[in-house]
Amino acid sequence: MGLILVAVFAANAFDRVFDEGVSAYNEQAYPAAIVSFEKLVDEGVTQPEVFFNLGNAYYRNGQLAPAIANYERALQVNPGAITVRENLNRAVGQTERGLARPRPPAWEEGLFFCHAGRTAGQSLAVAAVCWTLGWGLLMLRMARPWPYLRAAAWIALAVAGLFGASWWIKSHPPLLAVAAEARVPVRYGNRPGETVRFELYEGDRVRVDQRKDGWMRVQTADGERGWAQEEQLLLVGPPFISYRDRVKSSAPVEQAALDAVGYGDATR
């Protein structure tokens, strides 16, 4: 009974904070909406609706970097969310150069083309069904040696392996970060005095392949690589942490772009 009461209380607390955020957003009190949704992130909530609404609140508050980062979080949890992807594309279009997100390796895109819009849970479910089916067919063949039964079993097991690997990849996504300041210098080495190799602009997304002493080695979609200070980037995660105390700059957003942002389709 105690566990049930705790669960009900937790659900009610989530509903209250979430509704406060939605109400503040509808009243165009975007900083207050940000506080409400970031509170849920602090509490470990990872629902895509929270990240989506938080991204919208940041976007309408003229803060592109955390908006983009939260849209990316929503897509990590639910890759098939069309409205989230549309809003992400609009936000990226407002950045200095609209830099694309770094793509996965070519072998991964070719081998796992079928999992692009699936969640990790969906891939795992397909893997479990195919695994059970494959072994069921092998057991059936022992009793009924019908033609092609073994081939069908091995095909099912192969599909199970493919979607099992898909689940693992989706459960361990590459570390993505977003430039949080108007200009972020990327250097040849991980020391302040190192020569600047190139610059990131606010909202640019990069892949992180190494972290060391407050620095991150990042790579852009163009293949450029170097070291940037961690405090100048927002990590997408997981783990998912609040950006409330990390945002340092804001960028003007055109009114036409603000009006184009979809909202209601992806709320609860």
DSSP string, 70-126: HHHHHHHH-TT-HHHHHHHHHHHHTSSS-PPPPPPPHHHHHHTGGGTT--HHHHHHH
**Residues across the chain:** 268
Instruction: Name 233's bridge partners.
Output: 179
Angle at 257 between CA 184 and CA 87, to 5 degrees: 75
With cut-offs at 50, 70 and 90, classify the pLDDT of residue 156.
confident
When pLDDT is averaged across residues 182-191 and rounded to a whole number, the result is: 93
Give pLDDT, residue 161: 81
When pLDDT is averaged across residues 209-225 and rounded to a whole number, the result is: 91
**Cα separation of 241 and 211, whole Å?**
17
Cβ-based burial of 111 (10 A; exposed 0-12, middle 13-18, buried ≥19): middle
**230-248 residues labelled b (16+ CB within 10 A) or e (exposed):** bebbbbbbeebebbbebbe
- Does 196 have pLDDT greater than 60? yes
Angle at 193 between CA 190 and CA 195, to 5 degrees: 80
Give the pairing type, strands 233-235 and 205-212.
unpaired
With cut-offs at 50, 70 and 90, classify the pLDDT of residue 34.
very high
Q: pLDDT higher for 110 or 25?
A: 25
Residue 50's φ and ψ, nearest 5 degrees, are -65, -50
**Of the candidates 158, 79, 155, the residue with the CA atom closest to the CA atom of residue 121:** 79
* Beta carbons of 205 and 154 less than 8 angstroms apart: no
Whether residue 102 has a cis bond before it, omega within 30° of 0 = no
Give pLDDT, residue 195: 94
Least confident of 3-12, 57-66, 112-121, 213-222: 3-12
Give pLDDT, residue 50: 94
Residues 6-30 pLDDT 10s: 444 456 777 888 989 999 999 999 9
Give the gyration radius of the chain's Cα atoms. 22
Least confident of 67-76, 108-117, 190-199, 222-231: 108-117
- Does 265 have pLDDT greater than 70? no
**Of the candidates 81, 23, 94, the residue with the CA atom closest to the CA atom of residue 49:** 81
